[in-house]
Amino acid sequence: MVEILHNSRCSKSRAGIKYLDDNGIEYKVIEYLKNPLSKDELSAILSKLDMKPSDLVRSKESIYKELNLKDVDEDTLLEAMVSNPKLIERPIVINGNKAVVARPDSEIDKVL
């Protein structure tokens, strides 16, 4: 089943949900801000995305600057993203062993 890491306050995330709905795709919503991912879960998603934490971090978030994350190593960045899920780029759509950051929402087609 397709899964989407979703933040209802994010317009891009809402657009991802709309894209799935408009295309008749069944999916499970993962509200990662309410139910944060574990380090292992986020690592598995990064592997499916073929990305490093630095590729997926929202560097313009205030918490990124507050925690002074600019020059830290990937593992420290991963830990920060687990502890502060707002740092995770969204939406992420997962289908089996494939995943994409759905920006724009048409990227979702790559995992269907």
Q: Which single residue is written with the structure tokens 């502060």? A: 84
Cα distances (angstroms) measured from residue 67 to each of 14, 18, 49, 89: 28, 34, 25, 17
* Gap between the Cα atoms of 5 and 7, Å rounded: 7
Q: Let me know if 10 is a catalytic residue.
A: yes
Q: Give the largest Cα separation in the chain, rounded.
A: 42
Kindly name the residue from 10, 37, 44, 72 that is annotated as catalytic.
10
Catalytic (active-site) positions: 10
